[in-house]
Each structure stands twice: as C-alpha cells, then as structure tokens.
Amino acid sequence: METTTQDISFVKKIQTVFDAQKQYQHIIKQTSVEDRVAKLKKFREVVLKYKVEAAKALYADFQRPYAETYALEVSTLLNHIDYTVNNLADWLKKEPVEPAYPAVIPFTAEIIHEPKGVVFIVGPWNVPFFLTLYPLISSIAAGNTSIIKPSELTPHHSALLKKMIAECFDEQEVTVIEGGVTETTELLKLPFNHIYFTGSPKVAKVVMRAAAENLASVTLELGGKAPAIIHESADLDKTVFRIIKGKALNAGQICMDVDYVLIPESLKAEFIQKADVYLKNAYYAKGDFNYEDYDQIINEANYNRLKRLFDDAVATGANVEVGGVFEEKLRKIQPTVLTNVSTNAAIMKEEIFGPLLPILTYSTKEEAIKIIRQIDKPLGLYVFSNDSEFTDYIIRHTTSGGTTVNDVMLHAFDPAIPMGGVNNSGIGKGYGKYGFLELTNARAIVYQSPEVPNDEFFKPPYEGKAEIILEGLK
C-alpha cells in the first residue's frame, strides 16, 4: 500500500507528542500528592462542565438515553475521581519493609510506588466515557503522562473527549488522538511503558503482540460469556428483575452483562413469565415498544452479527420466548429470551454483546459447573441464591474476574473493588488502589547497615566455606 503525505504527517505528529511526553514524564514523576490531587479535582470540574454534552454525544452516536449516560458513565466516573482524591495520600506513602532475616542481613528497606512513564489508553465504544477515562484517573494518580485513543465507532464522543482533555491538560501530559485502525496501529508501534486496553480478546492479542515488541506492560479489560446461575432458593422476582434490567441496559452492550442463564427446569417457565411481565411494564407502558428509552446497536456490522447469532440459534432448535423483534431501520433489537438453545450454537460460543439471552437448564450443581467450565473464564459471574452452601460451591468451583451474588454487574461499579478479568477475559486489574498499583512500579529501596555480620565471608579464597554453608542448610 502506498504511503500518503497524510500518513507521514500523522506519524510525525504522534512521534512529536510521544517524544514530548517521554521527556515530560520525568517532571511529572516529581509531582507531590497535592499536585496530583489538584489535577484530579480540575479534571472533575471539566467532567461536570461537560456532563450534558457527554449525554448528547452518546445519544448522537447510538441513541443512548440521557439517564443511562448520567448513571452509567458520568456519576460512576465522578465517584472514582473522588475515591482516588480521598485515598491517594495513603497510596503514595513509602511502605517500610522488615527484613526476613535481620540477624543475617540487618538492612532497612522501603517500597516506593513510582510512575511507569508514558501510558497508552485505548478506549472502547460501548461505555466510552467511563471506560476510556477511568484509567486516566489511575494514570494521573500514579504520575504518568498519557495518550488516549477513543473508539472511532463513537465519533461524537471522541470529539468531545479531545475537547475536554485539551481544556484540562497540556498536550505533553495528557492528549487525545482520534482515528481508526490505521491510527491505532501506528500508535502501537511507539515504545510506550504501559498499554491500557479495553475491548475484545481478538484485538487484545494484537495489542499484546505490539506491547511485546517494546516489553511494555499491559492491562487488558476484555469480556467473555458471563453466566447467571439461579438456585431454587433464589427470590425469583428480584432475580428476573435484576437480570433482565441489566440485559436491557445499553441494549446488552456491556462486557460485564449476563451472557446466558443456568436455571433448574422447574423454574424456567416462571422465569420466562416474569421476564415478559417486566419488559411489558418497562417498555410497553404507552402501548407500543418504547424505543426512546432503548439504545441502538452501535453499528450495522454489530446489528448483523447479532441477527446472525439469533438466526443460527433458532435454526438449531432454539425457541423464542420473549422478544425476538429486530427493527433494521432503527438498528434496535428488543430484549430477547431464548430457550432450548444448543450448546453447539454460535450464540453459546461467542460473546453475545447484545440483548439476546439464552436460557439453559441444569439438574445438579455439578452439571452447572460442567457447562460453565466448557467456556472461557468470564469477566463476571453471577449467583442468585439464598443458600450459602450452594453459593460457596459455585464460587469455589469456578473462576471469573469478579462475582456478584444476587445481582448483576454490581462489583463493576465500586472503586474500592478490583476490576479485571482472568486469561481470555482480561489481564491485570483496574479501579482505585488496584489501578494505581497497575500503573506504578513497586520499587524496593534497601539501606545496608554499616556493620554486617560475616561481611568478609564471601571473599575468596573459598576453601572450607562450602562446608560451612552446607552445614547450615537444615
């Protein structure tokens, strides 16, 4: 492919920005707690200033209702800023370390948390305001410089972020660079110290390969097929309400969302009936389905992908119990509940990332575990149960990035709780102190004592010394 003048100009631009941040990181590293807190407070003011514009931008990008943006994104982001401001002084304190064998090696030691350097933040399209900006909170707290690449699939949001960040930070400290795959590919060639990526496992592998070229550390926030396991002891009214409400939120385009339900056969019909009632009360209050309170699928490609998953599921024997309405012109899909879904169907092999909900049944807890283990470790796992023995069994016999009991996604909103996946659902942890630790280097500082027992021991000649060491190995 021929290189254009525009390509060369972009490469020069990002190299200039990167070089400036690489130099400036040494200045940022020296900033005090007070300096960093002041930056976070200024950032908070800008977030508040543009809260309405953020809602308008995301409505323009995929018709997200304002209420969802304020609750999911703006409010949550402000909570994370406040939590970091209130705790940063403690996180930045030097940690004294007691030597393990003071009689043998009587040094004193401490651990300091120093910034990694230049951080590259790659944001997603699904919850773009919060998921692109919360890593920035950690980066500022850690004392790094940052380059942010928002998703090209939400262009109005991307333009707003560029405006906000430019108002709040100097380019040599934090900047937003817009563009698509080509621009991201060029940015990944730069020798960043850390890459913080939120997106799909497929793209994460590309990011990880690029990071390996420069031995950059990575945080990968991905997704996976999150199960909701329902026990006979669960309060089914609350269970259905919370699962279906979560599945409808953002039209199911949330990495933490329930991907499929495991339920005893005896409860299946009641679950379906209650799901139908909830959706009618929530979306049919005025007669027809209320699309004004419901998100678009982000683009035609993802709409077609979801239609393919749905068609394949039905073709392989699935029954449509609720929903199943696809409005192509609106690019909206009503929340859909499917039963009799084959575990070999594409919908059970791919992350759905949309408002389709397969219902599978199980007879024993061992059978439920077997189904879960056949699929990659998820970002979230949800247990609906008032039987502590059952709950503990599910938690002990599964692995996930996080787990919420008797609700969905709750662990993904509190800044005091680590956010992140495991293996295919992610690498590394974010939020609060965990995000701060992710973006800092724990540097050990050891101060040797003036007087060290046997200081001269490891000085040649070694004759007879091996026997002395061997005698002490007990």
Residue 97 in contact with residue 442, Cβ under 8 Å? no
230 pLDDT above the threshold of 60: yes
Instruction: Taking each helix axis as running N to C, give the angle between helix 128-142 and helix 33-49, from 0 to 180 degrees, rounded to the nearest 10.
Output: 160
394 and 441 share one domain = no
Across the range 411-439, mean pLDDT stands at: 96
Tell me the pLDDT band of 450, cut-offs 50, 70 and 90. confident
Look at the chain and report how many structural domains it folds into: 2
CA distances from 209 to 186, 348, 373, 423, 461 (A): 14, 28, 27, 15, 48
Rounded Cα distance between 73 and 49, Å, is: 14
pLDDT confidence of residue 5: 66
Give me the sign of the Cα torsion angle 413, 414, 420, 421.
negative
254 and 182 share one domain = no
**Which 3 state secondary structure label does DSSP give 5?**
helix
Which of 364, 394, 416 delimits the end of a domain?
A: 416
85 pLDDT above the threshold of 90: yes
pLDDT confidence of residue 102: 83
- Reported as a single tens digit per residue, the pLDDT across 92-116 is 999 999 988 887 778 899 999 999 9
User: What CATH number did the domain enclosing 158 receive?
Assistant: 3.40.605.10
CA 439 to the chain's CA centroid: 15
Tell me the catalytic residues.
221, 255
235 and 97 share one domain = no
68 and 142 share one domain = yes
Q: Which domain holds residue 157?
A: 5-222+425-446
Pairing, β 326-327 against β 332-333: antiparallel
2 pLDDT above the threshold of 70: no
3 pLDDT above the threshold of 70: no
**Residue with more model confidence, 5 or 397:** 397
The residues facing 149 across adjacent strands are 122
438 and 321 share one domain = no
6 pLDDT above the threshold of 70: no
User: What CATH number did the domain enclosing 345 receive?
Assistant: 3.40.309.10
pLDDT confidence of residue 101: 83
Does any domain span residue 10? yes
Does any domain span residue 456? no
Among residues 396, 377, 71, the alpha carbon closest in space to that of 246 is found at 71
Rounded Cα distance between 16 and 199, Å, is: 27
Mean pLDDT across the chain: 95
Does any domain span residue 132? yes
What predicted TM-score, i.e. pTM, was given to this entire model? 0.94
218 and 257 share one domain = no
Pairing, β 118-122 against β 145-149: parallel
29 pLDDT above the threshold of 60: yes
> What percentage of the chain exceeds 90 in pLDDT?
89
Tell me the pLDDT band of 448, cut-offs 50, 70 and 90. confident
Rounded Cα distance between 458 and 460, Å, is: 7
Pairing, β 145-149 against β 174-176: parallel
Residue 214 in contact with residue 230, Cβ under 8 Å? no
- Reported as a single tens digit per residue, the pLDDT across 137-191 is 999 999 999 999 999 999 999 999 999 999 999 999 999 999 999 999 999 999 9
Per DSSP, 74 falls in state I
Which of 416, 434, 458 delimits the end of a domain?
A: 416
- Reported as a single tens digit per residue, the pLDDT across 352-397 is 999 999 999 999 999 999 999 999 899 999 999 999 999 999 999 9
288 and 188 share one domain = no
Three-state secondary structure readout of 390-410: HHHHHHHCCCCCEEEECCCCH
Across the range 122-126, mean pLDDT stands at: 97
Does any domain span residue 277? yes
Across the range 406-434, mean pLDDT stands at: 95
pLDDT confidence of residue 457: 81
Which of 416, 434, 462 delimits the end of a domain?
A: 416
> Rg of the chain's alpha carbons, rounded to an integer?
26
Does any domain span residue 441? yes
Does any domain span residue 273? yes
Q: Which residues have C-beta within 8 Å of that of residue 287, sequence separation ≥ 6?
A: none
Residue 230 in contact with residue 357, Cβ under 8 Å? no
Which amino acid, one-letter code, is at 265?
A: E
438 and 387 share one domain = no
Strand order in the sheet with 217-221: 174-176, 145-149, 118-122, 194-198, 217-221, 426-427
164 and 120 share one domain = yes
CA distances from 252 to 296, 302, 332, 351, 414 (A): 10, 12, 11, 11, 20
Does any domain span residue 469? no
213 and 232 share one domain = no
- Reported as a single tens digit per residue, the pLDDT across 32-78 is 999 999 999 999 999 999 999 999 999 999 999 999 999 999 999 99
Q: Which residues have C-beta within 8 Å of that of residue 457, sequence separation ≥ 6?
A: 465
77 and 65 share one domain = yes
1 pLDDT above the threshold of 60: no
Does any domain span residue 460? no
DSSP secondary structure string for all residues of 301-315: HHHHHHHHHHHHHHH
216 and 334 share one domain = no
Among residues 379, 377, 436, the alpha carbon closest in space to that of 126 is found at 379
Beta strands in 130-249 (DSSP E): 145-149, 174-176, 194-198, 217-221, 226-230
pLDDT confidence of residue 4: 62
